Amino acid sequence: MTMLKWITKDTNIDFMKARFFTYALSIVLVVLSFLSIYYKGFNFGIDFSGGVLMEIKSEKPINVEEIRSKLSVLNLDELNLQTIGETGNELMIRAQADNANEEVQRKSIVDIKKILGSEYEYRRVDSVGPQVGDELKTAGIVASVLAMIAIAIYIWVRFEWQFALGALVGLFHDIIVTVGLLSYFRFDFSLTTVAAILTLVGYSINDTVVTYDRIRENLKKYRKMPQLELLNKSINDIFSRTILTGVTTLFAVVPLYLCGGEALESFSFTIFAGLIIGTYSSIYVCTAFLNLFDLRAVNHKDEDNIFATIG
């Protein structure tokens, strides 16, 4: 209860004091993310790389090496076997087949079932061709780019171009750093991961819009307050809301990551990392970026702009 009172009380933290350090930190994080993406690449899931994915279940613990030995007679690329859960009676079979067409992959599924027999329950069977995987990969990239453009236009209409540019810089930062972490830690990158990234984009921009709204209100209310002080006050005004929203979301994401199994591991990690990165960027990227402009001059123009009433 004491902690909750501390979080919800009014704060007076000098966030902008650390802006030069966080400028450097953000640049370093983005550069490291690009390096990881360039040198390590992504661990593309079956959605993007093509291949076969099966989940089987047995009434007794599964001997992974025995299954591997049985399937070694098949011409499968990068055969990966991993137990699911704590009982050891569930197994995920993943075989990358980058050079195989869909017909060959369907045959691989039939062959695997024939070798393993009927003693296993086949809980999940997926097959994606490499051409379809490339199309899905392109669609995922296009969806992310279009989301960023649509959000930038929305912020531009609702506020001013300086705010839109700040929001776009923040979104770029959040996405690059998050996918950099996915690359570095070798999490599966699939359509589910893209969905998590788009969820992160929505969460991040929501936090940014709330902060920008408060900045615009304070620009009208405190006309003589120094700009840096005004930015600090605006962040402190909504800081308790930001923390409580993030903590509440983490209460749902952490159990999902710990207990959701491998199928949800990449999704939950992306949301978890994105919450932290998005909260950081709304303060030290999106808001700190605005200090590069004279917001009072922007605000005077905004008062005569018919779009100021939208939203």
The upper half-sphere exposure of residue 276, i.e. CA atoms within 13 Å in the direction of its Cβ, equals 11
Write out the E strands in 22-89: 43-44, 51-57, 77-84
Q: How far apart are CA 8 and CA 157, in angstroms?
A: 32
DSSP H/E element including 96: strand 90-96
| pLDDT value at residue 308 | 43
Residue 122, strand partner residues: 56
Q: How far lies 49's CA from each of 46, 95, 163, 268, 308, in Å?
A: 5, 10, 38, 21, 46
- The correct CATH number of 2-44+132-309 out of 1.20.1640.10, 3.40.50.300, 3.30.70.1050, 1.10.760.10 is 1.20.1640.10
Q: Kindly list the domain boundaries of the chain, sorted by start residue.
A: 2-44+132-309, 51-128
- Chain centroid offset of residue 159 CA: 26
User: What are the tokens at 273?
Assistant: 């990392």
Q: In what order do the strands lie in the sheet with 90-96?
A: 77-84, 90-96, 51-57, 121-128
- 101 three-class SS: coil
| pLDDT value at residue 30 | 96
User: What are the tokens at 160?
Assistant: 């001013």
Write out the E strands in 163-267: 188-189
Ramachandran class of 190: left when φ > 0, alpha when ψ lies in -120 to 50, beta otherwise: beta
Q: How far apart are CA 203 and CA 173, in angstroms?
A: 14
| pLDDT value at residue 80 | 76
Q: How far apart are CA 296 and CA 302, in angstroms?
A: 10
Parts of the chain with a pLDDT under 70: 1-9, 77, 85-86, 96-101, 129-133, 261-263, 297-311
Length of the chain in terms of residues written: 311
Cα torsion angle, 100, 103, 105, 110, sign: negative
CATH code of the domain occupying 51-128: 3.30.70.3400
- Which residue reads 């930190």 in tokens? 25
Whether the CB-CB separation of 101 and 50 falls below 8 Å is answered with no
Distance between first and last Cα of the chain: 36
| pLDDT value at residue 311 | 39
Whether the CB-CB separation of 184 and 39 falls below 8 Å is answered with no
Q: How many CB atoms lie within 10 A of CB 283?
A: 24
Look up the pTM and report it.
Answer: 0.78
